[in-house]
Amino acid sequence: MRTSISIAVGVMAVAGMAANAVADDLTFGVRVETSSIDPHFFNSPPNLQIASHIFDKLVKRDHNEQLQPNLAVSWKPVEKNTWEIKLAKDVKWHDGSPFTADDVLFTVERSPNVPGSSSTPGRYFLQKEFVKVDDHTLHIKTEGPYPTMANDLSVPHIISLKHGKGATTEQYNNGKATIGTGPYKFVKWVSGDEVVLTANPNYWGKKPKWDNVVYKKIVSGPSRVAALLSGAVDLIDFVPPEDVRSLEKNKKVVIHSGSSNRIIQLVPDVSRDATPMVWDNDGKPIWPNPLMDYRVRKAISKAINRNAIVDRVLEGQGIPAGQTVAPGMHGYTDDLKPEPFDPEGAKKLLAQAGFPDGFRVKLHGPNDRYVNDAKIVAALAQMLTRVGIKSEVETMPKSVYFTRCRKGLYSLMLLGYGSDTGDASAGLNGLIHSLQPARGLGRINRGLYANRRVDDLTDAALFELDQDKRLNLIQDAYRIAMKHVASIPIHWQVNIWASRPGLVYESRKDENTLAMSTSKAK
């Protein structure tokens, strides 16, 4: 049995094709399918990993989150508030028409304003003025110095003006508008079943390695494992941790894992005097909301045995966390350690906060988004109950769960987050900054935490060009937020794949499974 940081994936004909199908077809079995083919509809890994095959970005990130040229071949500040972007020449859309700066300008206009979207990647174009210099040169103007310009440009995919003008999300879903510059062309999406792609023979970059690529939705972990063992798929993602040891003993399977930038955390509602899912021991609503009290949030954190969750629920496939910035990421702070497991200390804090006998709460989480998410929520409920916070559990499919989270229906939520841009400031801007929609800040701050000092530090970091000073600003903001228990970090996820032997996959911190990262073993 071989285990490595790279992923080896087997070669297997697409399910349903003839037995003599070409060997250059690849089938993935994935836990979470895309919610749309529209690259700007929802900013999530399942959506972006499909979009990355069909469309290109101005700047791309490699498997270790390092920035690389793409449609933008260079970027540099030419004034303190202006960046110059040079675009690649001789790039063609799938229909053969040329890519120009006009396509970028159209994308900038369209992407932040997709109807029905609650988290479009186009938000990274906000507060920037794009000016066309010529067909392959752009100037981007900001209110002041903007050190993370390239990081921001690594998120949204660029779409065609010709095919996208007036196009709806449905027209991307059915293929009418789905014309990109990427290495693969869209064939079809059957919602709830599969996405089918085919190689773009005229791709302007490195030639695609696969003739056809299929993403099969297989929600159940045991079903994904069975599909791999039967040869129906070549690679599965989100391998259930409890199956890793047995699969390691199977000579027809290769297990590969890589560290992730995704934090799994509990997010408390700290903004409302009355919160919907907290009651006293008699079942009556509590006013004011106890989660607004720092001591209660600290007690919850102390009640969590992070090592037990990693060891027992995740079979060792996780890293206990004391902050939301993953190790190795710019902004990680060495002195923010995981909260020690201290149930007696938790009880004392609850008593100090006026709850010597605790209270009741309902925990909410998804059951099909993160590794063993429903089991994690159940384990957390047991831990909180032991210190007096009597906890009920409700989990549900992500499509329902995240919609309800955005509506403020919950009080204590299990949520995951992986940096959109590969920089710690993304987490500050999105998770911890107070909600300021016009500036694109606090967009996924579901507990509506707000702290003026944290906001000031975050805002200062947005415009600080000196990297040492900027790092200090980011770390100071995180120190304050974590001290105040803005959220309750539990662990960083470890990504696990299983495959048939024969090929090599370069695992990615962003947890995406990509055909472009897959190659035959030499």
pLDDT, tens digit, 9 for 90 and up, residues 354-386: 999 999 999 999 998 899 999 999 999 999 999
Tokens of 491: 């662990």
Residue type, 343: P
Q: Phi and psi (nearest 5°) for 143?
A: -70, -25
Provide CB contacts within 8 A for 55, sequence distance 6+. Answer: 39, 157, 158, 159, 180, 181, 182
In which residue are the tokens 């035959």 written? 520
Instruction: Please report the beta strands in 379-436, taking only residues with DSSP state E, as ranges in sequence order.
Output: 389-396, 412-418
Query: What pTM was computed for the model?
Result: 0.82
In the chain, the amino acid numbered 460 is: A
- How high is the pLDDT of residue 465? 87
| Whether pLDDT at 388 is above 60 | yes
**Of 12 and 387, which is predicted with more confidence?**
387
> Residues 406-434: what's their mean pLDDT?
92
Could you give the angle at which helices 294-303 and 343-352 cross, rounded to 10 degrees?
Answer: 160
Alpha-carbon dihedral sign for residues 228, 233, 234, 239: negative
Percent of the chain with pLDDT over 90: 78
Look at residue 1 in the predicted model and tell me its pLDDT: 34
What residue ranges define each of the domains in the chain, with the CATH number in brackets?
Answer: 1-31+183-253+500-522 (3.40.190.10), 51-162 (3.90.76.10), 259-494 (3.10.105.10)
Least confident of 43-47, 66-70, 107-111, 502-506: 502-506
DSSP, res 329? S
What is the pLDDT at residue 223? 97
Residue 3 has pLDDT above 70, yes or no: no
Residue 410 clears pLDDT 70, i.e. is over it:
yes
Number of helices followed by number of strands (H, E) in the chain: 15, 24
Going from the C-alpha of 250 to that of each of 121, 157, 240, 315, 494, the distances in angstroms are 40, 39, 15, 18, 21
Q: How far apart are CA 125 and CA 114, in angstroms?
A: 13
C-alpha triplet 95, 99, 102: angle, nearest 5°: 120
**Res 10: pLDDT:** 32
What is each CA distance from 286 to 3, 101, 112, 278, 400, in whole angstroms? 51, 56, 39, 7, 27
CA distance 59 to 74: 9
- The candidate with the shortest Cα–Cα distance to 302, out of 276, 322, 328, is 322
**For residue 384, which of 421, 418, 350 has the smallest C-alpha distance?**
350
Average pLDDT, integer, range 192-218 = 96
- Whole-number pLDDT of residue 152: 94
pLDDT for 201 equals 95
- Identify the pLDDT of residue 6: 31
How many degrees, rounded to 5, is the angle at CA 306 between CA 483 and CA 32? 100
Q: What pLDDT sits at residue 327?
A: 86
Per-residue pLDDT band for 519 (boundaries 50, 70, 90) equals: confident
Tokens (6 digits) for 200 = 């773009």
Q: What is the pLDDT of residues 322-339, one digit of tens each?
A: 999 988 888 899 999 999
CB 130 within 8 A of CB 102: no
pLDDT for 9 beyond 60: no
pLDDT tens-digit readout, 246-293 = 999 998 898 888 888 999 999 999 999 999 999 999 999 999 999 999
Q: For residues 424-441, give the mean pLDDT.
A: 89
Segment 65-83 mean pLDDT: 95
pLDDT at 14 over 60: no
Q: Give the DSSP letter of residue 246.
A: H
Distance of CA 92 to the CA centre of its chain: 29
Is the pLDDT reported for residue 397 higher than 50? yes
3-state secondary structure of 129: strand
**Reported confidence tier of residue 18, pLDDT bands at 50, 70, 90:** very low
pLDDT of 15 strictly over 80: no
Q: Please determine, for residue 11, whether its predicted confidence score (pLDDT) is greater than 60.
A: no
Residue 323 CA to its chain's centroid (Å): 16
DSSP 436-448: BGGGTBSTT-TT-
Average pLDDT over residues 208-221: 96
Q: How many CB atoms lie within 10 A of CB 396?
A: 16
Distance CA(375)–CA(99), nearest Å, equals: 47
What's the pLDDT score for residue 141?
Answer: 97
Q: Beta strands of 25-105 (E only): which ranges?
A: 25-30, 56-57, 59-61, 67-69, 72-79, 82-87
What number is the average pLDDT over the span 219-229?
A: 95
Please state the rounded mean pLDDT for residues 468-490: 96
On the question of pLDDT at 13 being above 60, the answer is no
pLDDT-based confidence at residue 2 (cuts at 50, 70, 90): very low
Q: Are 148 and 176 in contact (CB under 8 A)?
A: no
CA distances from residue 32 to 116, 187, 370, 512, 513 in whole angstroms, order as listed = 20, 19, 9, 11, 11
The pLDDT, as a whole number, for residue 59 is 98
pLDDT score of 504: 78
Burial label, 280 (beta-carbon count in 10 A; 0-12, 13-18, 19+):
middle
pLDDT of residue 288: 96
Distance CA 432, CA 429 (A): 6
pLDDT tens sequence across 140-191 = 999 889 999 999 999 999 999 999 999 999 999 999 999 999 999 999 999 9
Nearest to 178 by CA among 54, 70, 71: 54
Mean pLDDT of the chain: 92
- Radius of gyration over alpha carbons of the chain, in Å? 23
The closest of 445, 311, 295 to 376, measured between CA atoms, is 311
Rounded Cα distance, 315 and 307, in Å: 10
> Residue 328's pLDDT is what?
80
Q: Which residue has better confidence, 15 or 331?
A: 331
- High-pLDDT (> 70) share of the chain, %: 96
Q: How far is CA 82 from CA 102, 111, 445, 462, in A?
A: 19, 21, 30, 14
| Residue written as token pair 């605790």 | 358
Instruction: Give the pLDDT of residue 22.
Output: 39
